[in-house]
Amino acid sequence: MATKVDPITLDIIENALKNARFEMDGVVVRISLSPVIREQHDEFPMICDARGRMIVGQFGSYIPAIVEQFEGDINEGDVFVWNDPYACKGSISHNNDWCVMMPIFHENVLVGFSSIFGHMVDVGGKVPGSMPADAHTIWEEGLRVPPVRIYDKGVLNKGVLDIMLNNSRTPDMNRADLMALIAGCRTASVRVRELCDRFGRDTYTTACDMLLDRTREAMKVLIDKYISEEPVTFTDYVDDDGLGNGPFKMTLSIYRRGDIAVFDWTGTDPQAPGPINFHIHEGLCKLFFGVYMIMAFDPSVLFNEGFYDLFEVVLPEGSLLNPKFPAALSNRLNTHTRFFDCQAGALGQRAPHLSMAAGYGTSPHFIFTGHDKDGKYFQLMELLFGGVPGRPRGDGLDGHAWWPLFSATPIEYIENYYPVLVEGYRPIRDSGGAGLHRGGAGIEKIYRVLETGKVSIHDDREVVPPWGINGGHYGGTSSKWLVRKGETEPTRIPSKIDNLAVNAGDKILFRTAGSGGWGDPLDRPAEHVARDVRYDLVSAGEAADKYGVVLTADNQPDVAATEKRRAGMREERGAPEPFSFGYVPQAAE
């Protein structure tokens, strides 16, 4: 008879795996050295079953493609590493992400895999940070490592490690971060073996199957309820590719065929000459759709790979989402996050009450490199955040990451380890789109550099603003400015630039985009608008013009004047639009 698992045992195993996944995070951040992983948590762990299907984690789908390359030659004590997107079918999407995978054995029987990938601050290439804004091919973006054993049956392959570290400007950080990823995988291996010891191996593996099946059945309900047989289509844009080309169109159509949800990217622009292409694995594409549907429509569902056979994905070859080798990929996060915006826009047409607006739309980064007074090389890399969209449950988050577990680098850390002073860090007034639920605000961060060096910047949403939904307004765009020492007037610099020469005392003003609002701003409680004005998130002019709220001298709502103003604005405007874009593509003008 097949092994049976009672509901209580299943619940215990599920939560034990969730805890193990978070323990992986804890181990990694305690061992790593780079600010990107140690402070900002740019690493993504998962635990899979023996077939490589993710049971818990954030990313999945890539294990079977790696295992296939080794034709079953997978042994206890092996640890695999890779970073080349083209050599792993897009399981990771640019060279900076080093991915580690190890098989988990219980009494010589394979019961699963643990895996983590994390962002290395430098992997070689033409510019510090390895994400050149003007790359034409992946050859310019640093060392490419195909899937190889970094540990062979428990023995370190020093040659592989030496090659990887020899091609980085930050070998000490990379070594520590790589070993942190490996330690995280080993932690998961210990916890899975403990579960097999406690409940029995057959019970554990059956429980994994049951967790996958449960998610699949829940996803069938969501597909039937929220995806129609009639296609819905949505289009959004990436500003540019760093080489002066763009904006680039991304078009998504979603429909249902029986129990199968089809996600079709036909109509998306051809691959870019510059490095914004997103070489996405089909399984990862399914995962991104699945996690959005779960988070938007039923967060109680366990996020795993059980629903994959219910999804069909169309990724046109040679497009922005399926580029041909050797297309440049290093700054693909502009396209990656616009992927999420297109999901929200398409799914929101069938269930607008559960969808959200568009967000700041990339992963902005600031890199400062040079040599200090002692001649020692330094390389600061920081990921910045922006406005997270207005949503059904409330306002968007101000200056927050797209990725839930990311956090800002503490200013004390930056100033202690790098020749930089952070002179300002605050939300940008009026950058959150007006709405019943206001869009999250972008942030302004002011860096004053204390040594001569070079700055690289990468951002988006400077041209195409984040759209609003259900009557909400679009949010504010990004901008970057340089103030030379001794000058007062800032000079605008591009949103994508490498090796900008700076001198001690110069300032960089880094302003990220906000996000779109959700719902009719004329329905927002006047006291909430007044509070936002007092908090300097909204100006008095915006309160009157976008929200129809009239304020007293001490920034309290004038109830009678507000009601009168809003009535007039409603009559003049009519019914609010379902989307507020703030951008008209050139071809349509």
568-580 pLDDT tens trace: 999 999 999 999 9
2 pLDDT more than 80:
no
pLDDT band at residue 551, thresholds of 50, 70 and 90? very high
Max Cα distance, the chain (Å): 81
pLDDT at 292 > cutoff 90: no
Nearest CA-CA partner of 50 in 4, 106, 122:
106
Could you tell me which of 206, 212, 5, 205 has the C-alpha nearest to residue 105? 205
Read off the pLDDT of each residue in 447-458 and give the average, rounded to a whole number.
98
C-alpha dihedral (395, 414, 99, 164), degrees to nearest 10:
160
Q: Is the pLDDT of residue 90 over 80?
A: no
Q: What mean pLDDT do residues 28-41 have?
A: 95
Model confidence pLDDT, tens digit, residues 146-187: 999 999 999 999 999 999 999 999 999 999 999 999 999 999
* pLDDT at position 127 over 80: yes
Residue 283 binned pLDDT confidence (cut-offs 50, 70, 90): confident
Rg (CA), the chain: 24
203 C-beta neighbours (distance < 10 Å), count: 19
Q: Is the pLDDT of residue 589 over 50?
A: no
360-409 pLDDT tens trace: 988 899 999 999 999 999 999 999 999 999 999 999 999 999 877 889 99
Q: What is the pLDDT of residues 55-69, one digit of tens each?
A: 999 887 789 889 999
**Amino acid 351: pLDDT:** 86
What is this structure's pTM? 0.94
Percent of the chain with pLDDT over 70: 99
At residue 471, the pLDDT reads 97
Indicate whether 1 pLDDT > 90. Answer: no
With 60 as the cut, is the pLDDT of residue 111 above it? Answer: yes
Mean pLDDT of 27-45: 95
**Contact between residue 357 and residue 390 where contact means Cβ atoms under 8 Å apart:** yes
pLDDT of residue 403: 78
377 neighbors 367 (Cβ within 8 angstroms): no
Would you give the distance in Å from CA 43 to the centre of its chain? Answer: 11
Chain centre to alpha carbon of residue 142 = 21
Q: Kind and range of the H or E element at 251?
A: strand 248-257
- Separation CA 288–CA 283 (nearest Å): 9
pLDDT value at residue 142:
97
pLDDT bin (cut points 50, 70, 90) of residue 19 is: very high
Look up residue 121 and give its two tokens: 């601050």
What is residue 212's predicted lDDT score, i.e. its pLDDT? 96
Phi, psi of 400 (to 5 degrees): -115, 160
Question: HSE-up of 160 (CA within 13 Å, CB side)?
Answer: 18
| pLDDT digits 0-9 by tens, 185-220 | 999 999 999 999 999 999 999 999 999 999 999 999
User: H/E element holding 212?
Assistant: helix 201-226
